[in-house]
Amino acid sequence: MKIMVVGSGGREHALVWKLRQSPRVTDIFCAPGNAGISALATCVKISATEIEALADFARQERIDLTVVGPEVPLALGIVDYFEEKGLRVFGPRGNAATLEGSKVFMKDLLEKYHIPSAFYATFTDREEALRYIDRQAAPLVVKTDGLAAGKGVVVAQTLAEARAAVDLFMQEKAFGEAGNRVVVEEFLRGEEASFLAFTDGETVLPLPTSQDHKAIFDGDQGPNTGGMGAYSPAPVVTEALHRQVMETVMLPTVKALAAEGCPYKGVLYAGLMIDQGVIKVLEFNCRFGDPEAQPLLMRLKTDLLEIMEAVVDGRLAEISLEIDPRPTVCVVMAAGGYPGKYENGQAIHGLARAGQHQDVVVFHAGTALQGETVVTNGGRVLGVTAIGDTVQEAITKAYQAAAEISWEGCYYRKDIGRKALDRNQNSVVSSQDSESLMSTTIGRVPPL
């Protein structure tokens, strides 16, 4: 089969890497791809948002399945367009992808269907938003309604910071039209976890748990990023919490989307806050997380192509997941200055040495080729991902490989996976032991 993966980040490199392992895959194309992906697939110079050009290429090359990585083309309706042209494509249609494309849509849906989340208010008028904030107590969370590459969220510790966030989004237009409408939310305390599942609209098949690290600095300090690292499994999600997430979040959300005329097919990603056994939804994404895709796909043993075809064909109930019980850790290496201004074009050294480390894969995110030299080409540059018999072993392997790599201004957090280590070792083992069972549990959406 011929496969095309749309996108250019670490998530797309991981997707290409995993799909390449399928015995049924003969050719993989990636549009536009990156330096690392070019070693596994034919990179095509078409932007992820050039939907018509992507469809034309898929027709010309007789692509059997297109896999959409990033959120923007999904929100733009790439799946609808491909389906209209008779092309097979993996991902949710545009109306279902609004779950990620509009935080107001998401919050309203959760409220309507009694899916647990933070209390909130939405505004299109800056002065109204500021007056509302003045009546609240800090801390607060201020978000752009639209897509902002994971950076349109400010956790404001003071009311002054909340007002400044409103101005940043609505007056300074830091994220363009995404900030025309803002959401002001209750600040939720607890520990975050990522919960991803495949769904064909009828069956919800969960992947192992994982945990992202959003903030730029160690100790979850500093501004939010697209993600500075991740690990799987996340011991904060016990077996009981896993069932609770399925029963109160994942299945009801898929059912709610269907009831609203937005049937969902693809990967559904819930960002959760867990506090003393209570789960609330922070956000939904309509695709694999980045960097969560890297550690998750490293643990996935089942043929990814078989899963994706079952989703497209509406027969996901036939699939069970085989998961490597060993934990995985991904350390994101970023350009100096990210998530603010940074320079591209820095030569990256040590990739060959890092690639020789056992049980490690260096996934490329923001990279490009200048001649034969791999250079930086984005804020998040690499995702060094390792698997080990224990969380500590996976962490050690990832950081040893990352230490081989350098470029001018290179930066990465030094505490990825620390939260897992800080939890009681018995609970970690319990989570890992039960996860092989949980990850094959199929949840069926109740009839409407």
Asked if the model's pLDDT at residue 427 lies above 50, the reply is no
List of residues 6+ apart from 16 with CB closer than 8 A: 5, 28, 30, 33, 37, 40, 41
- Position 37 scores a pLDDT of 98
Asked if the model's pLDDT at residue 431 lies above 60, the reply is no
Nearest to 154 by CA among 127, 178, 194, 183: 183
How does pLDDT run across 270-309, given as a tens digit for each residue? 999 999 999 999 999 999 999 999 999 999 999 999 999 9
What's the predicted TM-score (pTM) here?
Answer: 0.92
CB-based contact 203:189 (threshold 8 Å): no
Asked if the model's pLDDT at residue 130 lies above 80, the reply is yes
Q: Read off the pLDDT of each residue in 12-21 and give the average, rounded to a whole number.
A: 98
- Position 446 scores a pLDDT of 57
Asked if the model's pLDDT at residue 424 lies above 60, the reply is no
Asked if the model's pLDDT at residue 430 lies above 50, the reply is no
- Number of other residues whose CB lies within 10 A of the CB of residue 44: 16
Place of tokens 């902002």: 148
How does pLDDT run across 348-371, given as a tens digit for each residue? 999 999 999 999 999 999 999 999
CB-based contact 150:224 (threshold 8 Å): yes
In the predicted model, what is the mean pLDDT of the chain?
93
Question: Within 13 A of 412's CA, how many CA atoms are on the CB side?
Answer: 24
Phi and psi at residue 40, in whole multiples of 5°?
Answer: -115, -20
- Position 445 scores a pLDDT of 67
Q: Which residue segments constitute the domains of the chain, with CATH numbers given?
A: 2-93 (3.40.50.20), 119-186 (3.30.1490.20), 191-444 (3.30.470.20)
How does pLDDT run across 179-224, given as a tens digit for each residue? 999 999 999 999 989 999 999 999 999 999 999 999 999 999 998 8
- Position 444 scores a pLDDT of 72
How does pLDDT run across 152-177, given as a tens digit for each residue? 899 999 999 999 999 999 999 999 99
- Position 425 scores a pLDDT of 53
**DSSP string computed for 30-77:** EEE--TTGGGTSEE----TT-HHHHHHHHHHTT-SEEEE-SHHHHHTT
Q: Read off the pLDDT of each residue in 429-447 and give the average, rounded to a whole number.
A: 48
How does pLDDT run across 377-422, given as a tens digit for each residue? 999 999 999 999 999 999 999 999 999 999 999 999 999 999 999 8
- Position 150 scores a pLDDT of 72
